[in-house]
Amino acid sequence: MRRANESTRLGVRPSNALLVRGARQIVTMRGPVRARRGAEMSQTGIVTGAAMLVENGRITQVGPASRIENLTQAKRAVEVDASGCVVVPGLVDCHTHLLFPAPRLQDYEKRIGGATYEEIAASGGGILSTVRAVRCSTAAGLEAAAARSLELMASHGTLLAEAKSGYGLETGLELRLLRALHRVSGPAEVVPTCLGAHAIPPEWKQDPDGYLAGVCAELLPEVARHKLAEFADIYCDSAAFSAEQSARYFDAATRLGFGLKIHASQFSSIGAVELAVTWGAVSADHLEAIEEADAELLARSGTIAVLLPASVLHLGLNRYAPARKLIDLGAAVALATDFNPGSSPTPSLPLVMSLACAQMRMSPAEAMTAVTVNAAAALRRAESAGMLESGRAADFCIFNVQDYREIPYYLGANLLRTAYRAGGPVFHQGGM
């Protein structure tokens, strides 16, 4: 066998066949091809002393090294040495706002000084400050910003990411944001979401219903016509859009064929979860302020609960979504970074896993499920992402750990060694 040359230009597949060998664990996530619930979230499909054979960018064999390494194809393959390491599926970040031109450093300092999220927004900061920055940006600048964000995310293991618009808040700019997401090339695949109802623009402050009517009548049809997004999302909370307004948005989006997502109950419970379940939303995201009845509704529904603990941490709050209750009730739970310039400027899913374990009492196995197969299901990608099994694209990460539980255990450490997408390396960090 030939050893893979780590100086090979990243992103280019050097051989038609790879043999990943020497791994202490391969976390396959084998199981139902859908979001996992309850006890299913603890089933990681670990193979110890394992190897994986990749041919033409797809996995052909995963199993004990003694069997895989003796295959004829394996003897001709380029060797990827994963000795002493753990191999996991490429991580999936199912809720991000990765397309922003600059950080919100003034907001950051104001928050440190004691200002609340609402006070910062009222003073001209928050979402609308990023909207102003986007309105001054060029298409090329937005694409460059998206590429930088994707590189950051891939450097922590994310190989599939949802990305929302929502910082344009007018038809032309929202379309520009979504087109930038389609044009950007990076180490991670992007699933675009139209967040046309992210906030009420200042010019529509006195007529939010008029703004929403324009989004439904102009923006969403244009996005659908040009196939610029798979999902439509809305921010339903006391400082954004009401449940009644969100229902109108969902009605328009459903008629145009979009999958539905909703920012639900981040700061207050105003009926967003019930709305999500009633309309069959793919996911309800945030959920820090949900009540017992909301958790029970989610557990009985097909809507996936996407939890975003990094935003709670960065905002200096202490009310996390009730992950333990949701899982014990039988809800499908996923985790995401909420990567954005204001409330969660982190590209790291391993950090989010750490917070989920320490602050929301999820087990490491549940956290791994939540950033692989369940996150993929929240993007309608369970059949193609989040698992390592024969026939799937060879999207995988090699972590410099001996047990997958070390990934969330080492808080804030980036232990990713190499990430491969479709059998080609897209990130390499070297040894620790």
Closest CA to 186 of 150, 142, 157: 150
Record the pTM.
Answer: 0.94
Domain extent listing, the chain: 2-89+386-428, 92-377
92-377: same fold as 2-89+386-428? Answer: no
Domain 92-377 has CATH 3.20.20.140: yes
Q: Tens-of-pLDDT digits for all 432 residues of the chain?
A: 445 544 333 444 445 899 999 999 999 999 999 999 999 999 999 999 999 999 999 999 999 999 998 888 888 899 999 999 999 999 999 999 999 998 999 999 998 999 888 888 888 888 888 988 888 888 899 999 999 999 999 999 999 999 999 999 999 999 999 999 999 988 999 999 999 999 999 899 999 999 999 999 999 999 999 999 999 999 999 989 999 999 999 999 999 999 999 999 999 999 999 999 999 999 999 999 999 999 999 999 999 999 999 999 999 999 999 999 999 999 999 999 999 999 999 999 999 999 999 999 999 999 999 999 999 999 999 999 999 999 999 999 999 999 999 999 999 999 999 999 999 999 998 533
Joined tokens for residue 139:
């298409």
d(CA 353, CA 91): 11
At 218-258, the pLDDT tens digits run 999 999 999 999 999 999 999 899 999 999 999 999 999 99
Residue with tokens 């590429």: 147
d(CA 170, CA 286): 25
CA Rg, the chain, in Å? 21
Amino acid identity, position 353: M
Q: Which CATH architecture has domain 2-89+386-428?
A: Roll (2.30)
Closest CA to 189 of 426, 430, 17: 426
DSSP 9: P
